[in-house]
Structure 1
Amino acid sequence: MRTDIVVRQARAEEAEEISALALRSKSHWGYDEEFLRACRDELTVTPEMCTSGTVRVAVQDTRILGYHRLAGSPAHGELSALFVDLEVIGHGIGGVLLEDALALATARGFRSLVLDADPGAELFYRRFGAVRLGESPSGSIPGRTLPRLRFDLTTGTTPSQRRAEDG
């Protein structure tokens, strides 16, 4: 894990910055402006979300590099968002955030986490141990489906250990 990155609770005043980061991150997959506009509401993070204890940000110095959001209540929850800013995609921030989300979910008593992944990000989650369950309809784009994935948090193995085992 990178030692210069701190993962902490989001603050209400960061909601707008986090929402803008999510849209920038989504554009990584080559989506056009019309697609991104259609996703805006679904990707908006509110000040209330930030103060609810469900949104955590990865920060380096004072810069927010990414965030994740957990939803639901034990025993089965959802990783409802995980986004990394465009400039740092591929630098390990997503892994830091995902490991934090899985550790936090486990500590809160979740036995599993599901998520609807962007099709381009499915392999990222699978490298950390997610299993594909099927598909789910997009919350933003009628007729579009997303890979539905699940993390089993009862194995006692961390995502880092699973990745090491897979070699």
Structure 2
Amino acid sequence: MNILKAIPKDHIRLTEITKKSKAYWGYSEEQMEKWNNNLTITIDYIETNPVFNLVDENQIVGYYSYFKLQDNQVKLDNLFILPEYIGKGFGSFLMNDFVERMRNEKCQKIILDSEPNAEKFYQKIGFTKIGEFETSIKNRFMPIMEMKL
């Protein structure tokens, strides 16, 4: 496994990974269609934000992206892995790379909005829930989480 900086032409593959990973949690096709724009990774997004691919056997199988909130704070914007790689340590591998990258950049705090089904994953890595907000799905709440470095 390697982690490599994404290039603009990766946008199609990253969008595919994002949509398949989100659908893994059992959301309806109708809901997935409502989220289509939010789940699409564009060339501009890759050119504007740090995006890193997880490559296994010359295939992109996951990625993460982030942006700075302040000089010492970042927001993890995306972390997605193909469904067949979920639960096999690939997510932890990606997160460890991300956290180490943030430490090297002297970041003091990471914030993220967690997929509700992934909250326990982030807690295992060391994130704590600091709040939540209701999503477009009634009675579905997105945990807001942070990790202090």
Cα contact 1:25–1:85 (8 A) shared by 2: yes
Does residue 114 in structure 1 map to residue 111 in structure 2? yes
Cα contact 1:116–1:136 (8 A) shared by 2: no
Alpha-carbon distance in structure 2 between the residues aligned to 1:115 and 1:11: 23
Paired residue for 2:130? 133
Query: Counterpart of 1:98 in 2: which secondary structure?
Result: helix
Give the superposed CA RMSD: 1.5
> Which is strand-richer, 1 or 2?
2
Alpha-carbon distance in structure 1 between the residues aligned to 2:118 and 2:141: 14
Instruction: Please tell me the residue identity of whatever aligns with 2:64.
Output: H
Alpha-carbon distance in structure 1 between the residues aligned to 2:52 and 2:64: 6
For these two proteins, the number of residue pairs brought into alignment is: 147
Q: Report the identity percentage.
A: 27
Q: In the TM superposition, what whole-angstrom CA distance separates every residue of 1:4-28 from its partner, at most 9, and x where no partner exists?
A: x000101111101101110100011
Query: Counterpart of 2:37 in 1: which secondary structure?
Result: helix
Alpha-carbon distance in structure 2 between the residues aligned to 1:23 and 1:46: 13
Does residue 21 in structure 1 map to residue 17 in structure 2? yes
Cα contact 2:6–2:52 (8 A) shared by 1: yes
Does residue 63 in structure 1 map to residue 54 in structure 2? no
Q: In the TM superposition, what whole-angstrom CA distance separates every residue of 1:98-150 from its partner, at most 9, and x where no partner exists?
A: 11111112222221011110110000000000001010343xx2654301100
Q: Superposed, which structure 2 residues align to 1:38-49 within 5 Å?
A: 38-49=34-45
Cα contact 1:68–1:80 (8 A) shared by 2: yes
CA shift for structure 1 position 50:
2.1
Unmatched runs of 5 consecutive residues or more in structure 1 = 154-167
TM-score normalised by L of structure 2: 0.91
